[in-house]
Amino acid sequence: MGTRYFVMKERAVPEVLLKVVEAKRLLETGKVHTVNEAADQVGISRSSFYKYKDDIFQFHEHLQGTTITLTFQMEDEPGLLSDVLKIIAEFGANILTIHQSIPINGVASLSLSVQVLPTTGNVSEMLENLRRQQGVMNVKILAESKN
């Protein structure tokens, strides 16, 4: 079963998850410099931060003008990169950078920076289509920044 996403109102999200989001924001903005500082400031344990940090993200209703950096692990097979790029193109996102490592044991690591435009389709759906692409083993959002 693939990764499933849910959109919830803030009041339905457990407090610890909201605090993880706040701790991540403090780190990203440079208001604190360590996970320990961030966790202390928002009132959670470091273990709670690490447990949930990759699973909770603040939802941005309007991602237009945002650059998302994605990281992939994918099988080293001819045409797979083309298939991945085609999915992104079908959703109307603009590819800014592509970096693929030399495959090791038949697996290549890839990072892509993608600009989300006003005409770009549903980003969550695009990510799910990328995850379902045969030969793609892992897709994660590494970073998100406003243009």
Q: What pTM value is reported for the model?
A: 0.58
pLDDT band at 119 (very low <50, low <70, confident <90, very high): confident
pLDDT at residue 4 above 80? Answer: no
From CA 22, how far away is CA 98, in angstroms rounded? 30
pLDDT at residue 63 above 70? Answer: no
Q: How many CA atoms lie within 13 A of 100 on its CB side?
A: 16
Each domain of the chain, given as residue ranges in start order, spans 10-52, 66-146
Q: Across 3-17, 79-93, 117-131, which has the greatest mean pLDDT?
A: 79-93
From CA 29, how far away is CA 31, in angstroms rounded? 6
Query: What SS3 state is found at 110?
Result: strand
pLDDT in tens, 20-40: 999 988 887 788 899 999 999
Q: What is the fold of 66-146? A: Alpha-Beta Plaits (3.30.70)
